[in-house]
Amino acid sequence: MERAERPVRERILEGTYACVARWGLGKTTVEDAAREAGVSRATLYRYFPGGRDELIDAVVLWQFLRFFSRLYEELHDAGSLPEVLERALVFARRALLEHEVLQRVLATEPEVLMPKLTTERERLVGMVSGFLLPYLAHHAVTDGVDVHEASDYLARMTLSLISAPGHWDLEDPAQVADLVRVHMLAGIAAS
């Protein structure tokens, strides 16, 4: 019942995601996704005329958007720019490591996922930058710093850190505070 009330597009995406979780990206077919979502092939093609490729791309984007809505929820009570970045880094890194489907696909089908992440990366820079911009606009920013340039810089560095923390241990609050204060915000917000 509840299932029937949800928008068809959402149902198709959920069904596709369930198939990917079970069989992987490469083996998920349009037929599987339609069956899992409880719609016909024709209906699926009406929503995703590009077929399988469009469907898979849409599922990847849909997962990113779900992640961002969780991130907004997580950070709704963060007061300062340093706090936003610290909590976002910790939350995002943990979400990435704990995302079972993503980890499984990365381990078993990197050649299928990696090209998609490359094209998504440009979009992600824009999404993270747009996420940070209001915080920058409401926070005292060092004179002469362009908030758009700063949010683009912070977005790129945040994505890089989440993908590969390098020398940084994002589980250690003291290190994360140091990272944000010294490396990310020293030129942007006087603390």
Q: Which residues bind other proteins (CB under 8 A)?
A: 106, 110-111, 114-115, 117-119, 121-122, 125, 144-145, 149-150, 152-153, 156-157, 159-161, 163-167, 181-183, 186-188
Shortest Å, Cβ 135 to other proteins:
16
Shortest Å, Cβ 183 to other proteins:
5
Q: How many helices (H) and strands (E) does the chain have?
A: 10, 0
Q: Where are the alpha helices (DSSP H) in 24-109?
A: 30-37, 41-47, 52-75, 81-98, 100-108
Residues in the chain: 191
Shortest Å, Cβ 137 to other proteins:
17
What is the Cα–Cα distance from 162 to 160, expressed in whole angstroms? 6
| 12: number of Cβ within 10 Å | 25
The terminus-to-terminus CA distance of the chain in angstroms comes to: 53
Closest CB to other proteins among 115 and 173? 115
Closest CB to other proteins among 62 and 153? 153
Closest CB to other proteins among 13 and 141? 141
Closest CB to other proteins among 8 and 117? 117
Closest CB to other proteins among 22 and 183? 183
The token pair that represents 188 in the structure block: 């942007």
Shortest Å, Cβ 189 to other proteins:
10
Residue with tokens 């995703």: 48
